[in-house]
């Protein structure tokens, strides 16, 4: 079993382990106060044909994309959650999953044919439900841990890495195969991974007793257990379904900018610079981002200048960086640093702690996702 130390800086999942000193920024599960519409000019709330969710019951959050036009949203009744589909352009909603319990997290695979739902039963038993695209439960996984994190394999949509969190800050790592309904222990020592090929995952190997904001980047072949050291000093690492990957590095802790270097099939390809928001700790700030692999566009929130993370209040620019063309466009400015999620078709960007806004990229319109 591996030790997991949770940091007070944890805010988003670039790393699920506080051994990794990346300031991580969470999937939108927070029930904190929503940002007001005044965070953006009122002119952005026009020009789109998107239809907000209209429901009499309280809406908890938009949990995931279902397809290019449809989202999955959570609602609450009698302290229990249910999962619903909503087509943003037809304005139609329907039930996707109803269970006696609480839905904690929803993660779709790369082609949106399967959905991993972390679920807490009325008996407070944590389960992982694997659903097909009709909302049918085809596999129930339980008794592995108290919480789960799923990393779907974009190269083989039937497989995933599962991190099962145990008591006392420990965790175990497994590979799951939906078609065979098989779970295999892979003994990985890190809880944050990224798929880099059909059988290989990348991870940062942190020294638990020597905290640092950088670590070597390794690859693990889950089929034969072989490891390979790829990079010596990396702050964070992300990989995407089109063979593109991204590393974050810095020459010195005194630099004002981090270097975000893109790799195409592991060969250096593009790079951009990011203002650093200094945490004055071993935790490194990483902006919220979302990648449209169909069009090669990297969406991220960029602070206007380098500063102190805890005192910076001058807003963020939403940038669309076309990796293939090596060009960028500023879309809008936001007051808050909040999560992003691009639609499978690349036309709508969800924005907010609970994905409470949808940004119509073609129309340049920001639309509330539901009516309170």
pLDDT tens-digit profile, the chain (372 residues): 443 322 323 333 333 333 334 444 433 333 233 333 334 433 345 567 899 999 888 899 999 999 999 999 999 888 788 999 999 999 999 999 998 889 999 999 999 999 999 999 888 889 999 999 999 999 999 999 999 999 999 999 999 999 999 988 899 999 999 999 999 999 999 999 999 999 999 999 998 777 788 999 999 999 999 999 999 999 999 999 999 999 999 988 788 999 999 999 889 999 999 999 999 887 899 999 999 999 999 999 999 999 999 999 999 999 999 999 999 999 999 999 999 999 999 999 999 999 999 999 999 999 999 986
The answer to whether 217 and 296 have CB atoms below 8 angstroms apart is no
Distance spanning both ends of the chain, measured CA to CA: 45
**What is the CB neighbour count within 10 angstroms for residue 170?**
13
Angle, CA of 116, 164 and 341, to the nearest 5°: 40
**Helix (H, G, I), strand (E, B), or coil: what is residue 182?**
strand
276-280 long-range contacts (CB < 8 A, ≥24 apart) are 276/250, 276/306, 277/303, 277/306, 277/307, 277/308, 277/309, 277/312, 278/306, 278/307, 278/308, 278/309, 279/9, 279/23, 279/309, 279/310, 280/308
Q: What is the pLDDT of residue 46?
A: 52
- Give the span between the Cα atoms of 205 and 215, in whole angstroms: 6
Three-class DSSP category at 115: strand
268 Cβ neighbours under 8 A, 6+ residues apart:
261, 262
């Amino acid at each position: 079993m591996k030790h997991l130390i949770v940091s007070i800086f944890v805010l988003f999942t670039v790393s699920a382990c506080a051994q990794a000193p990346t300031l991580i920024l969470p999937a939108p599960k927070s029930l904190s106060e929503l940002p007001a519409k005044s965070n953006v000019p009122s002119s952005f709330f026009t020009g789109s044909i998107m239809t907000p969710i209209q429901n009499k019951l309280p809406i908890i959050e938009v949990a995931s994309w279902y397809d290019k036009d449809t989202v999955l949203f959570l609602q609450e009744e009698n302290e229990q959650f249910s999962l619903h589909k909503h087509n943003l352009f037809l304005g139609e909603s329907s039930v996707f999953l109803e269970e006696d319990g609480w839905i904690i997290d929803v993660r779709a695979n790369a082609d949106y044919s399967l959905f991993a739902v972390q679920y807490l039963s009325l008996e407070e038993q944590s389960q992982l439900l694997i659903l097909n695209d009709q909302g049918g439960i085809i596999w129930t996984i339980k008794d592995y841990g108290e919480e789960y994190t799923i990393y779907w394999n974009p190269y083989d949509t039937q497989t995933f890495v599962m991190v099962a969190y145990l008591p006392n800050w420990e965790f175990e790592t497994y590979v799951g195969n939906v078609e065979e309904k098989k779970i295999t222990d892979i003994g990985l020592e890190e809880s944050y991974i990224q798929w880099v090929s059909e059988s290989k995952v990348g991870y940062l190997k942190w020294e638990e007793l020597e905290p640092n904001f950088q670590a070597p980047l390794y690859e693990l072949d889950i089929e034969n257990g072989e490891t390979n050291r790829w990079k010596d000093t990396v702050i964070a690492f992300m990989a995407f379904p089109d063979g593109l990957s991204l590393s974050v590095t810095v020459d010195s802790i005194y630099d004002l900018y981090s270097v975000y270097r893109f790799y195409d099939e592991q060969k250096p390809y593009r790079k951009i610079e990011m203002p650093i928001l200094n945490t004055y700790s071993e935790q490194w700030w990483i902006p919220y981002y979302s990648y449209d692999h169909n069009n090669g566009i990297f969406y991220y929130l960029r602070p206007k200048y380098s500063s102190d993370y805890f005192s910076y209040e001058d807003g963020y620019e939403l940038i669309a960086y076309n990796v293939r063309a090596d060009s960028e466009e500023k879309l809008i400015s936001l007051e808050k640093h909040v999560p992003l999620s691009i639609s499978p078709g690349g036309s709508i960007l969800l924005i907010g702690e609970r994905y409470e806004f949808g940004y119509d990229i073609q129309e340049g319109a920001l639309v509330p996702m539901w009516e309170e």
